[in-house]
Chain A
């Protein structure tokens, strides 16, 4: 390992600009003549629009234009799309209701887009929006996930019972048979609470149109600018693909919420041509709460069957998944193919059957949020496993160990073929780091102070490296999920890597450069990573699903291999040797068995000078591209242990210790990987203890600001103890599995398992707020402090 190569904790190249305030986020861009967009949003969860009178608004000071859904329709601008087709059990396709960027005839959630005002200033746009008169026929709303299919309220005409799909996975008969022969069955009812992603940078969009060239430019807060361009051009029809440039510059966190193609960016790029001015929209936090895609929101009943030896025989799960008022870009895949295939967890479970009903409600659309389906699956499996172990009076760690998969590859009953792993190794290391053997002593010490201490495990697995194109195509994905890379070697030997991955906190400018430095033997400061601009990078699928390392870097590795192969040819000509005799090692092309060699930079220069070979023999230049399509998902896995102490007087839960042992395969930069783990845990702890989006019965979002939606603060969290085990991933050239979502997937059941351990009963829902824990502690009739 070199100081900047694979495995080194290289300090991030991008940080210089971020720590000095020189980062450039979408809202930092201003274009000459820029006007401002403000969206008039529905105050009602469900209403028919009888009429919209924009007359007064159009004459307000500074107003340039007011547009409604009719204006978009007149320009044949299509609706927003959902890119993953799910078929119900009976073979019928999912019921996708229309999703116009600006409402047409009906609004379906509070925050839905009714009209847009474009004005000289934002304040003027807001003033004009107040002058729009909308005549609503307010309708009853359906909000509750579990009630949606039974409600008389109908969100979309295409779905009389608000059901998007009734989907299933697994072998029902085999699972029933497994339960029939079970010695013990453990049952659980779970709610996976609705979350608001809340990257600290709110979404923003800046659209621009050039009348001279007929080119459109959209600056947008996107995790996948090429997908945004494809959808905006091919499906929504805002501009031809080759005439639309999408730029996603520095992006202040995404966590899934910036994958999707939203109404606001659609409208900004379209309106820029209509008003002949660049049009900028920046979300405020309230809008982010109302209209960013939310995450999770499942209601689940699950059962686990075990035999007389405590071996798991089967698992059956029924989940109702709230998809909100419209199908967001990848929403349908999240509670289906990103969920049920993970229900085997780390365990050898012979039979699994899962049914998922996706439902519409009058709430914000729900889509992928960090982990996307896999946290929900892990919560089901790890809560059930913990509860089963308790019911069987077995040590939860040893119960897990007994049921771990130990032979690889392992085909689960739910699609996935796990390639490698050593789950017991992670468990052993975690038990040691968590000082498990002395836990009972700590618990007694807490009890002496009137406190309740508990410890909870989460032995999670996820499927990352999303995804093999053929496989996901067969499951309904609208596109393949490969990644692209182009490695441009300059005549001076410096290198630019163009990648379809997008960095919004992950540190690609550093880790990707480490790979290049390592493979080409050049200093890391000779490498630049270019991303986030469709005019520079030809195509790419973007960053989500912990895919940028396993898929994005594999594409770069593949392109580097081609560069080296080409370099070998150039070196052969220059060194007048046979290509077969050229070796590339430590940054030099040399003739085997001689001391004749050229540095990488010298070969680069020769490739462009091109004096030593004819163009017929070998093309000049040194630039190679590659598309990498993974052959399998990757399977990061690990064990997290959470230890809590509860104050039964107030219900306050304090996390006393957090131990994480993860197997991410080969690690490029341990500093960055640990940072990803920390952040993921924080979001998982947030879900378990603090965060929950709450709509009231009428569909008003009660938690629409940080005053009511509790974000994790520094003081809500401990320092984390992070350890690693490594089984290299066999399916990609770098052995990478991915690390971006692990913490968010692992954490929630670890916290709830710890709390239920402390309470001595299972009856606590997320978020386990002080009030909820206090009430649960009362119910447990635990000895109370002398107050």
Chain B
């Protein structure tokens, strides 16, 4: 067993885990944060994307022990004070989701794109930056719209953004 200490969604957690525990398993099984999903075995679908130390990573391809001492934000930690994060609100407003399974990873990736690229995102940039997230329902059309709108909204709500 190995000991992992993490800050997850602002809360400190420490646990003894089998070293082979993936970060996504730790989140889902140990912490019952089931918003982070698993959709493939080969690090491609992006349903498992969380932020580790401020960067979007695939939690299915990261050992929990590798994340030790890190700060993790999951989809459950994005909304502050009962208000949806602007990107969450944009996905709802622009119908950027259908079955909802890819959505947590998609939103975490979208927030990361804005953090890296700023709020003014053209369609081409958004499509290229969504490389690591698969959606089988939406054809991406409305996801692209949602990310563009969410990016603008994040710029207009800096406090919300800072909270992440």
A–B in direct contact per CB < 8 Å: yes
- State whether A201 and B103 are in contact (beta carbons under 8 Å apart), knowing that A19-B97, A505-B137 are contacts in the complex: no
Q: State A715–B129 Cα separation when bound (angstroms).
A: 9
User: Are A284 and B35 in touch, CB under 8 angstroms?
Assistant: no
Residue B68 CB within 8 A of the other chain? no
Q: How far is the CB of A504 from chain B (nearest CB, A)?
A: 5
User: Are A682 and B139 in touch, CB under 8 angstroms?
Assistant: yes
Q: State A40–B54 Cα separation when bound (angstroms).
A: 40
Residue B71 CB within 8 A of the other chain? no
What mask results when residues 92 to 130 of chain A are scored 1 for a CB within 8 Å of chain B, else 0?
000000000000000000000000000000010000000
User: Are B84 and A672 in touch, CB under 8 angstroms?
Assistant: no
The number of residue pairs between A and B whose CB atoms lie closer than 8 Å in the complex comes to 178
Q: State A197–B34 Cα separation when bound (angstroms).
A: 24
Q: State A21–B135 Cα separation when bound (angstroms).
A: 16
Residue A25 CB within 8 A of the other chain? yes
Residue A28 CB within 8 A of the other chain? yes
Q: Which of A265-273, A438-446, A704-712 contacts B (4 or more CB under 8 A)?
A: A704-712
- State whether A720 and B139 are in contact (beta carbons under 8 Å apart), knowing that A25-B101, A705-B40 are contacts in the complex: yes
User: Are A706 and B45 in touch, CB under 8 angstroms?
Assistant: yes
What mask results when residues 246 to 262 of chain A are scored 1 for a CB within 8 Å of chain B, else 0?
00001111010000000
Task: Please name all residues of chain A whose beta carbon is closer than 8 Å to the beta carbon of B136 when the two chains form the complex.
Answer: 198-200, 253, 255, 679, 682-683, 711
What mask results when residues 89 to 116 of chain B are scored 1 for a CB within 8 Å of chain A, else 0?
1011101011111111001000000000
Task: Please name all residues of chain A whose beta carbon is closer than 8 Å to the beta carbon of B91 when the two chains form the complex.
Answer: 15, 19
User: Are A252 and B144 in touch, CB under 8 angstroms?
Assistant: no
Look across to chain B and name the residue whose beta carbon is closest to the beta carbon of A28: B34
Q: How far is the CB of B134 from chain A (nearest CB, A)?
A: 5
Q: How far is the CB of B96 from chain A (nearest CB, A)?
A: 9
User: Are A200 and B41 in touch, CB under 8 angstroms?
Assistant: no
- State whether A15 and B137 are in contact (beta carbons under 8 Å apart), knowing that A20-B75, A199-B99, A200-B39 are contacts in the complex: no
User: Are B101 and A252 in touch, CB under 8 angstroms?
Assistant: yes
Q: How far is the CB of A676 from chain B (nearest CB, A)?
A: 8
What mask results when residues 11 to 36 of chain A are scored 1 for a CB within 8 Å of chain B, else 0?
11011111111111101100000000
User: Are B130 and A23 in touch, CB under 8 angstroms?
Assistant: no
Residue B11 CB within 8 A of the other chain? no
Task: Please name all residues of chain A whose beta carbon is closer than 8 Å to the beta carbon of B33 when the two chains form the complex.
Answer: 21
Q: How far is the CB of A67 from chain B (nearest CB, A)?
A: 25
Residue B123 CB within 8 A of the other chain? yes
User: Are A743 and B93 in touch, CB under 8 angstroms?
Assistant: no
User: Are A706 and B99 in touch, CB under 8 angstroms?
Assistant: no
Q: How far is the CB of A368 from chain B (nearest CB, A)?
A: 16
Task: Please name all residues of chain B whose beta carbon is closer than 8 Å to the beta carbon of A199 when the two chains form the complex.
Answer: 99, 101, 136
The interface size of chain A toward B, counting residues with CB under 8 Å, comes to 56
Q: How far is the CB of A343 from chain B (nearest CB, A)?
A: 27
Residue A184 CB within 8 A of the other chain? no
Task: Please name all residues of chain B whose beta carbon is closer than 8 Å to the beta carbon of A198 when the two chains form the complex.
Answer: 136
User: Are A715 and B130 in touch, CB under 8 angstroms?
Assistant: yes
Q: State A17–B76 Cα separation when bound (angstroms).
A: 10
User: Are B104 and A284 in touch, CB under 8 angstroms?
Assistant: no
User: Are A14 and B42 in touch, CB under 8 angstroms?
Assistant: no
User: Are B95 and A714 in touch, CB under 8 angstroms?
Assistant: no
User: Are A286 and B100 in touch, CB under 8 angstroms?
Assistant: no
- State whether A675 and B34 are in contact (beta carbons under 8 Å apart), knowing that A200-B39, A706-B40, A713-B134 are contacts in the complex: no
User: Are A713 and B131 in touch, CB under 8 angstroms?
Assistant: yes
- State whether A22 and B35 are in contact (beta carbons under 8 Å apart), knowing that A505-B100, A714-B127 are contacts in the complex: yes
A27, A675, A714, A719 interface centre (most CB from chain B within 10 Å): A714
User: Are A19 and B98 in touch, CB under 8 angstroms?
Assistant: no
User: Are B97 and A717 in touch, CB under 8 angstroms?
Assistant: no
Residue A590 CB within 8 A of the other chain? no
Residue A671 CB within 8 A of the other chain? yes
Q: State A675–B136 Cα separation when bound (angstroms).
A: 12
Residue A285 CB within 8 A of the other chain? yes
User: Are A706 and B100 in touch, CB under 8 angstroms?
Assistant: no
B100, B102, B134 interface centre (most CB from chain A within 10 Å): B100
Residue A678 CB within 8 A of the other chain? yes
Q: State A530–B123 Cα separation when bound (angstroms).
A: 38
User: Are B40 and A675 in touch, CB under 8 angstroms?
Assistant: no
User: Are A504 and B99 in touch, CB under 8 angstroms?
Assistant: yes
Task: Please name all residues of chain A whose beta carbon is closer than 8 Å to the beta carbon of B28 when the two chains form the complex.
Answer: 28
Q: How far is the CB of A505 from chain B (nearest CB, A)?
A: 3
A15, A199, A200, A680 interface centre (most CB from chain B within 10 Å): A200
A16, A681, A682 interface centre (most CB from chain B within 10 Å): A682
A123, A285, A681 interface centre (most CB from chain B within 10 Å): A285
Task: Please name all residues of chain B whose beta carbon is closer than 8 Å to the beta carbon of A27 when the two chains form the complex.
Answer: 34, 38
- State whether A707 and B95 are in contact (beta carbons under 8 Å apart), knowing that A19-B88, A683-B136 are contacts in the complex: no
Residue A202 CB within 8 A of the other chain? yes
User: Are B139 and A201 in touch, CB under 8 angstroms?
Assistant: no
Contacting residues of chain B (44-68) with chain A, CB-CB under 8 angstroms:
44-45, 47
* Cross-interface CB contact of A285 among B41, B128, B135, cutoff 8 Å: B41
- State whether A675 and B95 are in contact (beta carbons under 8 Å apart), knowing that A22-B35, A199-B101, A286-B41 are contacts in the complex: yes
Task: Please name all residues of chain A whose beta carbon is closer than 8 Å to the beta carbon of B144 when the two chains form the complex.
Answer: 714, 719
Residue A506 CB within 8 A of the other chain? yes
User: Are B137 and A253 in touch, CB under 8 angstroms?
Assistant: yes
What mask results when residues 726 to 743 of chain A are scored 1 for a CB within 8 Å of chain B, else 0?
000000000000000001
Q: How far is the CB of B140 from chain A (nearest CB, A)?
A: 4
Q: How far is the CB of A779 from chain B (nearest CB, A)?
A: 31
Task: Please name all residues of chain A whose beta carbon is closer than 8 Å to the beta carbon of B137 when the two chains form the complex.
Answer: 200, 253, 505, 675, 679
Q: State A719–B142 Cα separation when bound (angstroms).
A: 9
User: Are B41 and A682 in touch, CB under 8 angstroms?
Assistant: no
User: Are B138 and A705 in touch, CB under 8 angstroms?
Assistant: no
Task: Please name all residues of chain A whose beta carbon is closer than 8 Å to the beta carbon of B17 when the two chains form the complex.
Answer: none
Residue A314 CB within 8 A of the other chain? no
User: Are B102 and A200 in touch, CB under 8 angstroms?
Assistant: yes
Q: State A20–B127 Cα separation when bound (angstroms).
A: 23
A12, A14, A706, A720 interface centre (most CB from chain B within 10 Å): A706
* Cross-interface CB contact of B84 among A19, A23, A504, A682, cutoff 8 Å: A19
Task: Please name all residues of chain B whose beta carbon is closer than 8 Å to the beta carbon of A678 when the two chains form the complex.
Answer: 138-142
- State whether A719 and B45 are in contact (beta carbons under 8 Å apart), knowing that A16-B92, A21-B104 are contacts in the complex: no
Task: Please name all residues of chain A whose beta carbon is closer than 8 Å to the beta carbon of B138 when the two chains form the complex.
Answer: 675, 678-679, 682
Residue B20 CB within 8 A of the other chain? yes
Q: State A285–B39 Cα separation when bound (angstroms).
A: 7
Task: Please name all residues of chain A whose beta carbon is closer than 8 Å to the beta carbon of B133 when the two chains form the complex.
Answer: 714
Contacting residues of chain A (660-708) with chain B, CB-CB under 8 angstroms:
671-672, 674-675, 678-683, 705-707
User: Are B107 and A19 in touch, CB under 8 angstroms?
Assistant: yes
Q: State A675–B103 Cα separation when bound (angstroms).
A: 15
Residue A78 CB within 8 A of the other chain? no
A21, A285, A719 interface centre (most CB from chain B within 10 Å): A21
Q: State A616–B84 Cα separation when bound (angstroms).
A: 52
Q: State A11–B96 Cα separation when bound (angstroms).
A: 11
Residue B36 CB within 8 A of the other chain? yes
* Cross-interface CB contact of A706 among B42, B97, B104, B107, cutoff 8 Å: B42
Q: How far is the CB of B128 from chain A (nearest CB, A)?
A: 6
User: Are A200 and B101 in touch, CB under 8 angstroms?
Assistant: yes
Residue B79 CB within 8 A of the other chain? yes
User: Are A20 and B99 in touch, CB under 8 angstroms?
Assistant: no
Could you give 14 example pairs across A and B, Cβ below 8 Å?
A15-B92, A19-B107, A20-B78, A21-B33, A21-B35, A21-B75, A28-B28, A200-B45, A200-B135, A252-B99, A285-B42, A717-B140, A717-B141, A719-B141
Which 10 residue pairs of A and B lie closest in terms of their CB atoms, listed nearest first? A21-B35, A252-B101, A18-B100, A682-B139, A505-B99, A21-B75, A678-B139, A505-B98, A28-B34, A714-B130
10 extra interface residue pairs, beta carbon distance < 8 Å, beyond A21-B34, A200-B47, A714-B143 = A12-B95, A15-B97, A19-B97, A20-B78, A252-B39, A252-B100, A253-B99, A675-B137, A682-B140, A707-B42
A residues near B, CB below 8 A? 11-12, 14-25, 27-28, 123, 198-202, 250-253, 255, 284-286, 504-507, 671-672, 674-675, 678-683, 705-707, 711-715, 717, 719-720, 743
